[in-house]
Structures are given as C-alpha cells and as structure tokens.
Amino acid sequence: MPQTSLMLLWHMHQPFYKDLAEGVYAMPWVRLHALKDYYGMVAMLEEFPDVRVTFNLVPSLLVQLEEYAKDAASEQDYRIAFKPAEQLTAAEKERLLVFAFQINRENLMNRYPRFRELYEKVRTLGAPSSAARRLARQDHLDLQVLSQLAWFDEIYLARDSEVRRLVEKQRGFNEQDKVLLRLKEIEIFKSTLEAYAKAEARGQIEISTSPFYHPILPLVSDTAVAEESHPGVRLPLKRFRKPENARAQIRAAMEHHARLFGRPPRGMWPSEGSVSDEVLKIAADEGIEWAATDEGVLGRTLGLGFDRRSDGTVANGRELYRPHRFTGGKHPVTLFFRDHQLSDLIGFVYSRLPAEAAAEDLHRRIQSAARSTGERAAVISVILDGENAWEYFPGNGREFLRNFYRRVASDPSLRAVTATEAAQAVEPGTLTHVVPGSWINANFDIWIGAEEDNRAWDLLADARELFSAHAAWPGHDPAKRELAEQELWIAEGSDWCWWYGPEHSSGHDEEFDMLYRKHLSNIYRLLGSSPPDELAAPIKKPRADAALVPPTGLIEPTVDGRVTNYFEWIGAGVHWPESRSGSMHGALHHVESLYYGFSDRSLYLRVDFAPAFIADHRNFEVRVGVDAKRRSRLHAKVRNGQVASLEVWKDDVKLEVYQTPNSGLPAQSGFAAAFERIFELRLDLAALGMIQGEQASLQVSLWVEDLPVEVIPQKGWLKIELTQKFVAW
C-alpha cells in the first residue's frame, strides 16, 4: 500500500479574559494552561524529530500569553498566589481556598500528597470563609505554592532542577520558594512562544491561525445561514449580518501572526470548524491557502455517510481521506475534513485506558482507516483541542503521546506531516459549495437557536447598531472608538454562546456570563452612552447538575430488559448524569439514568440509555463494579441487541463466563441480566460475598468496541447502605 499521511492538528485556544476598559483579567486559564499545555505540547516534539504536526494558535490566546510573558497582566488570582502569606487579607485567604482547588483532583492534585491533605482539611473546616480563618500561615503558604506547582508540565519539570526541588520538598515552603516559582512561570510564558517559533524554523511544525477573537464566522457574516444547516431553527429577533467583521477578524489574525512569527500563516482552523461558502471566499481572498472542518460537513455536502465497518475501514473513505479544493470563489482554498471518531477517541476516551494500550489502539485504527482508500494514498486528518483533554489523562497525557509518536515514527507505512505538506500529498477532490456547519453535528446549534443563545445575539446586535451609529456622532474620541471595536470583536467570540444554551456548563458559568455582558457594557461606556438595563440581568440559567436520589425501600424487579410495570423500581435509588458537558464537547452522555437498589437477597441495577445510543449501537458492553470486602466486576456483553454473555470477576481475576444469559442463567450462578429497551441486572449478595448491613460502592461503565465511552458516576462511586430498615413496596 502507498504511504499514509497523518495530518495531526492541535488547536490551542482560550477566551479573551481581559476587560479592556479596566485592564484586568477575569479568569486565570491562559496562565495556568501555559504552565501545563502550551509549552509542554510543543517541547516534547524535540524527542521525536521525524514527527511533524500542525499547531493552531488563536491570536486572542497569543495576545494574552504575550502580556503574561511581559509580566504586565493584572489578574487577581495571580496576585494572591504570590502575595506574602502574612499580608493576605481575610477576603484574599478565602479567595485562595476557592481558586486553589479548581483543578482536576485525580490527576493533578493527587500527585502532591500535601495538596490533597490541605484539600481534605479545608473540606472538614466548612465554608471557605470559616476554613480561611482556621488555617495556619504555613497552610496558606503551602497552598499558594502547590496551587501553582500542580499545573507545571512534566516536560518542564524534567528539565528544570530548581522546580524539581520544590516538587520534592512537598511541604514547608517559604517566601523565597514563591519568588523562585513566580520567576519560573514568567520564564515558561516567554519560552512558550520561542519554542513554537524554533519548532517551525526547524520544519517540524506548521503554525496556523483562527479569526482573531475566535468568532463563529458564518454566523457573524449572517446569522440566517444557520437555517441552511438546520431548517426551522429558531433565529434571534435581530438578524446579525456583518461579513466585513468576519473579514476584519481574519485580516487582523494574519497580521498579528506575521508580526509574531515573521510571516503570515498559510492555514486556518475556522473557529469550531465553522465554514460556509461566504466565509471560505473571504478567507481565500485574505490569503488563506487551507482550512479545515469536520467530516460531517463533507458528508452533508456530498450526501455521503462515513460508517465505520467491523474491519476498521470507513465507507466512502476515498472522499474522507483526501483534501478537497473549494473553488466557489475567486481564489481556491484547500479543505481538510477531520476524522471525527479518531479525534474524539483522543479527546474523550483514551484517558480511561493505559497509555500504551491507548496508543496501540489509535495506531491500529489509523492503519485500518488507511485501507479504506484501496490502492490510493490516504491523508487522514486528526484535529482536536490541544489543551483541555490532558488533565483527564494520568501524567498529563505525556506517556500516551510519547507512545503514540513513537509508533508513528517507527511505522514505515505512515508519515506525520504538516497541513501544507498534506495538501500536496494526494490529488484533491473539488467542491464548489459546502453545506454550512461546524465540527459539532455539522450545524451551529451550539451557538444559536436556544433562548439564551438568541438573547446573547440580540444584545450583540444592539451594541453593533450603536457602534455603527457612533461613526456619525460629532467629536467622538478615536482611541475610545477603537477600543469599543475591539470589545465588539471580543463579544463576537464563540466562547460566550458555548456556555449559553442547554449543552454546556462549568463551575464558572456566572463568571463567563458576567464577562460577556461586561464586554457589551464596555462598548456603550467607551462610546459615551449608558448600557441598557438588559445587560444587568444574567443570561445564563442555573446549571443542571447531576442529580441523585438514594434508595428509599427494598425492591425486587423482574429482570427482563423491560419496564414490566411502573411499581417494580419504586424505592430504588436514581442517578441522573449531568446533562451538560464542559469545556470539551463530546458524545459523553449515552445514559439517561441509572437505577440501583436491593432486596434482602440481591442487588439490582437498571440502565436507561439515550434513544440515540440504542439506535446507533447494537453491540456494547456494560461493566458493573461493586466494591465491598472484595472488589467484584461483572461484564455484560450485548450483541445484536441481546445480552450474549456475562463475565464474573473478583479481585481482578476472571472466575466464570456465562453464555446467552438472556436465555437464562444457571440458578446457582446468582446472577441475571437482560436487555431489550433497558439494561437490567441482578447480583445475589451471597455470590458477591456480601451480607445485610454492609456498605458497598457501585460504579457502572459503558464500553463500545472495547473502549470506555461513559462512566457513572463521572467521579467516584455510588455508596450503598444494605440496610434492613426499608420495607418492600
């Protein structure tokens, strides 16, 4: 077979957190991800000189990173982290206890025993205001250091002996340690941009760009375009049509890139992979040679599906695994269409597997996908977020990446290339039109259509109308007008509507909402007008957290895969997974609800799947872990819509395998499982070695093609008290 080209693109992006009117950063995520991801991701490539990749660096991220590198960024959490501990006010101590623990506890915090110790100590002391008063000065000082140190990338730690000394010290830090740590942070900020420039100079990476403040360009050009990708979508009251803003954001991005890296970029990842004919024509006019989006856009454009076959090949892979030339404008532009499945496996699945196994699986799937093109060379595009996924991986994902890069470098049938190189690797297809859409469902529903989204667009349109009218006002201040225009561009960014609507939520919804409304308010203030009252009211509704109702009575349902009657699960505990995802958008919620309960003899479990999951998957596996005196696991494999086998594990040893349990299990097995519309499972307590009165923990995971796609609960285990105080319903 001809050699396969792997076009791997890591997209680096953060919202614009700085309030231009006040000059203050509202949130710390640019700084913290710079310590962990932006430097480490490019620095580790030095270990693999034959691996070439593309990094997409969003200008609004780079502007903020430059300011941190100059030590000119004003940010409250940054200041508190390095202020002498004895000078911290009560309010600052309380704030420290809030931001210090906004971190992945399993993979970042738990690397530092003292950090975990402080977390547990604060939890026992109650509210942050109370805990802040009761902690000792050394506790505050250690927390200041560890809240920063936990974000440092493994690559940097391996190279810097002074920071490694702080890691080894673990506790008892002093003010001199903090001074050193702050200098090291600034050193990383400076080294990051230098590392990208050096990697590009040696030809190992290509740096592409996005529109300056990461707007959804098709919607900025014309919100009505959303109706083409989703007929009947509910649009904002006011049509927003500003193609000149789309052009200005692309042009500003290219100019900034040229200033920073010495030449304009060749390529662009349109924000969230969002494309339309109008946007592609504008980009090509401004000098963009290539752009990228998702396979869903190509599928809708060509009227094709890209189904994955059992042998790993992809239907219509000849079209998916080659670039296409869009010729609908004056100048052509090359388009890459990312393999959605491969990209999402890295972003959402492989963190749950051992690093070597995950890397081997990805490598094997790429080889299988390449066979989809027959004798023709393939270009496989894997494109995803280059920062947010890694905190879910042990060791920040560095061992996974090392294992994967090593496999790619040693495979003679595969070469990792930059996007510009990939564009020349095979004969491209031709497109004169694309169906407008993004990388999520090939439409724009994340950013428009929901009540919150549409309100945000209407408020933006109001501010834009004021800005347009202001040009005719006599005696206006050009400097303030320029700042107001920047605030307008910032408000056009994709990040605000990412958090509005029903799809996503974070622990910082109120802060994002307030910052968006502040950017809009600044436009009015800078233009000498009064912000409207509507900007005082929150747009974001309260978040929908995961909900849990513990068991209230004994149950004894029939295990048949159906809701036999309404009453059989009354008394069971119910866990509803959180309905919204966070900063990363993935197919993470295949389960609508999990019921669990017990009788005097058995433990019962019921899983209700989302309709889309049942429609798309006839084969999957439900794994149930029960942690009591001995840890037990049961693996129920569903094949062709029926439970085909049940494996029993204890203490990580497979004890028994029962075939076709839907047809019934031996009575002495102590287990029963069935699937028709719901999945139901009975586990006899005696078979698990459990008795009434014990406490057990329960965890359920869903697997497809031997890969974990969801775990419930997302963090920790469900606790079960096998009490006899209940009565049966």
Position 39 scores a pLDDT of 95
**Average pLDDT, whole number, for the chain?**
90
Position 562 scores a pLDDT of 85
User: Per residue, what are the HEC states of 522-575?
Assistant: HHHHHCCCCCCHHHHCCCCCCCCCCEEECCCCECCCCCCCCCCCHHHHCCCEEE
Residue 94 pLDDT class (50, 70, 90 cuts): very high
pLDDT in tens, 17-53: 998 988 999 999 999 999 999 999 999 999 999 999 9
Residue 413 has pLDDT above 50, yes or no: yes
The CATH class of 451-536 is mainly alpha
**Domain parsing of the chain, residue ranges:** 1-209+307-429, 451-536, 547-721
> What is the distance of C-alpha 264 from the center of its chain?
29
Tell me the residue ranges of DSSP E strands in 183-287.
205-208, 267-268
Whether the Cβ atoms of residue 658 and residue 674 lie closer than 8 Å to each other: no
Residue 667 has pLDDT above 60, yes or no: no
Position 294 scores a pLDDT of 97
Give dist(CA 289, CA 557) in Å, integer: 62
pLDDT in tens, 375-396: 899 999 999 999 999 999 999 9
Domains 1-209+307-429 and 451-536 share a fold: no
Give dist(CA 644, CA 480) in Å, integer: 69
What torsion, rounded to 10 degrees, do the Cα atoms 590, 274, 466, 499 define?
20
pLDDT in tens, 598-623: 888 888 999 999 887 888 888 999 98
CA atoms in the 13 A half-sphere facing the CB of 258:
11
CATH fold for the domain made of 1-209+307-429: 7-stranded beta/alpha barrel (3.20.110)
Reading the block at residue 667, the tokens are: 């009575």
Residue 728 pLDDT class (50, 70, 90 cuts): very low
- Three-state DSSP class for residue 243: helix
Mean pLDDT of 298-309: 95
DSSP string for residues in 65-134: HHHHHTT---BHHHHHHHS-GGG--HHHHHHHHHHTT-S-TTTTGGGSHHHHHHHHHHHHT-SHHHHHHH
pLDDT in tens, 477-522: 889 999 999 999 999 999 999 989 887 777 788 889 999 999 999 9
Alpha helices by DSSP H, listed for 202-242, are: 217-221, 226-229
Residue 663 pLDDT class (50, 70, 90 cuts): low
Give dist(CA 579, CA 6) in Å, integer: 34
H or E, element range at 303: none
- CATH number (1.10.3470, 3.20.20, 2.60.40, 3.30.110) of 547-721 reads 2.60.40
